[in-house]
Amino acid sequence: MYPWLIPHWQQFLQGAQQGRLAHAWLLCGASGSGKGELARRFANQVLCQSPNQGSPCGHCHACTLLARGHHPDLHQPEVSGRSLGVDTIRALIGQLSVSPQLGQAKVAIVPQAQCMTESAANALLKTLEEPPGAAYLFLLTDQPNALLPTIVSRCRRLLVQPDEACALSWLKQQPAGQAATAMHLRLNQGAPLATLAYLEAGLETQRQQLCQQLWGLVARQGRPGELVKLLESLPLGLSWLQLLLLDALKRQQGLAPAALVMQDCLPLLDGLAAKPTAQLLGLLRGLGRLQEEARQNPLFNVSLGLLDWLNDLLFEEK
Ligand SMILES: [Zn+2]
């Protein structure tokens, strides 16, 4: 188990040993924080036929089936097209209301619970309040604010927010993570698994390239068209631009470099911070619109949108 999950695990075991284990859980945490891993471990503990010393045995029939990914009493509805509809949730409730096939309990892990439609969420309320028999529900989300308050209030909430020192020391033990820094973690919302994937995929080089080219542009030494081309090839390009703008706003407020995410781009951040606050805020909104348009409309011309956005960035009031 990932070391930053251990305190949560111990809390869970304590609840189980004292016979007061909550039946409805909401696991919140950034993508790549390990909350899915934690939910699967909880599920394994509940479903294992002979748990020993506070951990699943790893070799009973239930553990074997779980390892293969098909235990009949573990249900994991899938999000289709960014939505979890009422039919999917009703089917899940149906699965939970029949007796377990193998052991004493049934478990549901609902990924991206914020994707539940309003009717799906409403359909789940009663089950969360009074789970049928020995049913356990684990809802996962990286956007708890997007959930109905009635869902949140019916769950035992658990925030997976890895301790930075613990996450870094784990990262440094991974082959691709030896050069990991606190900045890499912050670039990935403090999520160690996301940070490792980021380093493994060579995204750090891409981010540096983007900052360099943007710095050239801000210093009037580059061409917007070149940057648009680069941005089109970077899946995380727009998110990095957002982080840069947020850092520039922090810089305007006089925050120290330690409070910034992109601490290695100070000249660029100061170049951006020299622009009026209203312009930076407008640019942030513009990025949000671009992302939304690109998500909703597959025919949207991102290049053109980016070019407009860069022109807004370079605009200076005379
Ligand atoms: Zn077992």
Compute, in angstroms, the gap from residue 94 CA to the centroid of ligand 1. Answer: 26
Check if CATH label 1.20.272 holds for domain 203-314.
yes
Compute, in angstroms, the gap from residue 148 CA to the centroid of ligand 1. Answer: 35
The single-letter DSSP state of residue 80 is B
The boundaries of every CATH 1.20.272 domain in the chain are 203-314
The boundaries of every CATH 3.40.50.300 domain in the chain are 3-161
- The per-residue pLDDT for range 182-218, each reduced to its tens digit, is 999 999 999 999 999 999 999 999 999 999 999 999 9
Residue 81 has pLDDT above 80, yes or no: no
**Which CATH number applies to 3-161: 1.10.1240.10, 3.40.50.1970, 3.40.50.720, 3.40.50.300?**
3.40.50.300
pLDDT class of 53 with cuts at 50, 70, 90 = confident
Compute, in angstroms, the gap from residue 60 CA to the centroid of ligand 1. Answer: 4
Compute, in angstroms, the gap from residue 8 CA to the centroid of ligand 1. Answer: 20
pTM > 0.75: yes
Burial label for 191, CB within 10 Å (0-12, 13-18, 19+), is: buried
Spatial neighbors of 211 by CB under 8 A, at least 6 apart, are: 240, 244, 262, 264, 265, 268
- The per-residue pLDDT for range 267-293, each reduced to its tens digit, is 999 999 999 999 999 999 999 999 999
Residue-averaged pLDDT of the chain: 93
